[in-house]
Amino acid sequence: MRPDALSANDPARALSRFTGEFRDAALEDDFRRDQYAEILRQSKFLFGLGLLVSLVLAGVNALLADQELVPLALAARSVAFAASLACLLVVGHVAKSLVEPLLVVWQVVITLAAATLIFVQQNVDAVSVLMLPAAFYLAVPTRFRVAVITNGVASLVMMGSYTAYAGATETTLRTGVALIVLTGLLAALRGRSGRDLRIAWATARSRAEALAELAQSRKLIERIFEAVPIPLVVVSTASGRIRRANKAAGLFLHGSTGGLVGCRAADLHEDPGDGSALLASLAREGAVRDFPTRVHAADGSVRSVLVSANVVDKSAADMQVVSSVFDITGRLQQEEKLRKAEAEYRALFENAVVGVYRTTPDGRMLRANPALVRLNGYSSEAELVTAVNDIASEWYVEPQRREEWARLMGRTGRVIDFVSEVYRHKTRERIWVSENGWTVWDENGEPAYFEGTLIDITERMRAEKQNAYFASHDPLTNLPNRRHFMERLEQALAQRKRKGGWLAVMYLDLDRFKPVNDTFGHAAGDLLLADVARRLKSVCRSEDVVARIGGDEFTILSTSADEPDGSLGLAERILAAFVEPFSLDGSRALVGASIGIAFAPYDGVSPDELLRKADQALYAAKSAGRNTVRTFNPDFGRHAGESGADRAAG
């Protein structure tokens, strides 16, 4: 239960039946914080009383006690005196949370001092044993459980000291029983008094909160009355004069709120008879809704308005009427504009170059403009509307697209740039269109029909498809480019992580390609690169990814080999494919290749790491004499670090 969950009607529900404290720790903390001043006052009183009693009893001990016991008695009294004095001096300066521990320490010191005096045959009657725990229970303002523990300890200490002095006699036993009974009664009394105190506190707090909330509500109502942008006035039916007006009313009807108060309400009407008719309706009905009239505005114009009014208290002799004034001059002008706009809309509907439609929620065509009629291969709107019975199955290439369109429309009431492949309804030619649609609702909040526009975007879709292809492929070789290769490599690594297996990345660089460019020209070099791409694709498997990543550099992603030897075999077949010279417009060029290979997961698990290590292996292949294969990890070769040519020679 949070502090704000305390019921003002029944605060006792939040209290423990035994301790009388709040069950909610936060609420109990709030109570003790509110009671801190009283707790501090009681603490100072106790410390001062302890100081005074210790001083008086020290004097009595010095005069009346056995002279042999006086030093010990005075020492015990001095300790109690010092503890009381120290606590009195510091209690007002420590943190609130330390007051209770300070009280506990003081109780312990006083208890030990009293027990010492009993043990040395001072204050040896049973009343002395009972008095101190009782005083602690009744006067020390600690929490209930703290009071139970400290007073229990005090009772044990006092009873122990008394027993040590008097011995285990019948009197001692009766004193112990009396102490137990007294402790129980005092605990119940303390719980009850704490409960009553907290109920009173909770009730007062709830009342204060209610009053504060009421005051806030009144302020809020006042602020709302002033802040409402609609003119509001309060009129006395007895005098017919305005008693109150908000800012909007003052600005609209007079120019200022203060000048409007006290004016006769009837004087605001262009026709005074409207004011009389309004009051007569109020007398009969007690409320008026949308009473049409014309009033004088602050700027000198006459405005058309609708007045709604309610009688606040019909039983009062001087009834107060709250009236709201809605200026509809602009609305009337707008209606005229709408009539003109409707004519303009019809002209746009008939002459728009984009398709405009209206359909039922279940997929029947209701209206279609000439552009949409022509798009579907018909000559008239009536012909198209008659022909289309089910838009989902007759118009969309994928009928579920209509379901998706309806789902989006149902969720937001509007669809923007909804792209689909559709049929020209009459010719069944497939085209792409983009739709913008919206829902028109009926008076019950249900979809009455859908309206929208569409345009033919077939050429746009073709261009986007072509642009997407060239964004991911090398235009010279039609191979994937570096970005596409890295995406495919990342996908393959993710699949390998789930399913296991090998994955090889080959980095290939052409040998003797620069002389071809220098000798035959860049055009011949481009022909050679295209032929290299064809040879690589003919050697590799269909599931392998062959890419050109720049210049005369190519990469191959092989995911089909079960072990490194399979990828090494593919690399050897690639080298063999370069044995045949390349034809370049009547000339022939002999170009070789060097290949570096890195394996996942052993050489790396990220695309960049594998490509980098394959490049390092390629560098080793170049350094070994070109037209060779090197793996990044030599242990994966049939003979560690041996080139394909070397293995063939072996």
Which positions are catalytic?
Answer: 552
| Complete DSSP assignment for 37-96 | HHHHHHHHHHHHHHHHHHHHHHHHHHHHS-TTTHHHHHHHHHHHHHHHHHHHHHTTTS-G
Helix (H) or strand (E) holding 262: none
Angle at 108 between CA 106 and CA 113, to 5 degrees: 95
In degrees and rounded to multiples of 5, residue 448 shows phi and psi of: -85, -45
Contacts of 274 (CB under 8 A, 6+ apart): 291, 293, 294
**Cα–Cα distance measured from residue 322 to residue 311, given in angstroms and rounded to the nearest whole number:** 7
- The amino acid that residue 260 corresponds to is L
Give the 3-state DSSP-derived string for 321-345, with helices as H, strands as E and coil as C: EEEEEEECHHHHHHHHHHHHHHHHH
**Long-range contact pairs involving 536-541 (C-beta distance under 8 Å, separation at least 24):** 536/508, 536/574, 536/577, 537/479, 538/577, 539/570, 539/573, 539/574, 539/577, 540/570, 540/574, 541/570
Cβ–Cβ under 8 Å, residues 470 and 463: no
| Complete DSSP assignment for 269-313 | BSSHHHHHHHHHHHHHHSEEEEEEEEEE-TTS-EEEEEEEEEES-
Sheet holding 355-359, edge to edge: 365-368, 355-359, 447-456, 430-441, 414-423
**Cα–Cα distance measured from residue 134 to residue 151, given in angstroms and rounded to the nearest whole number:** 8
- Measuring CA to CA, which residue among 533, 560, 568 is closest to residue 544? 560
**Cα–Cα distance measured from residue 498 to residue 491, given in angstroms and rounded to the nearest whole number:** 11
Contacts of 8 (CB under 8 A, 6+ apart): 202, 203, 206, 207, 210
Cβ–Cβ under 8 Å, residues 108 and 64: no
Contacts of 548 (CB under 8 A, 6+ apart): 474, 476, 477, 479, 480, 481, 529, 533, 554
Structure token digits, residue 41: 């006052």
**Cα–Cα distance measured from residue 173 to residue 183, given in angstroms and rounded to the nearest whole number:** 15
- Measuring CA to CA, which residue among 450, 468, 289, 251 is closest to residue 357? 450
Q: Running DSSP on this structure, what letter comes out for residue 429?
A: -
**Cα–Cα distance measured from residue 603 to residue 611, given in angstroms and rounded to the nearest whole number:** 10
Handedness of CA 81, 83, 86, 88 (dihedral sign): negative
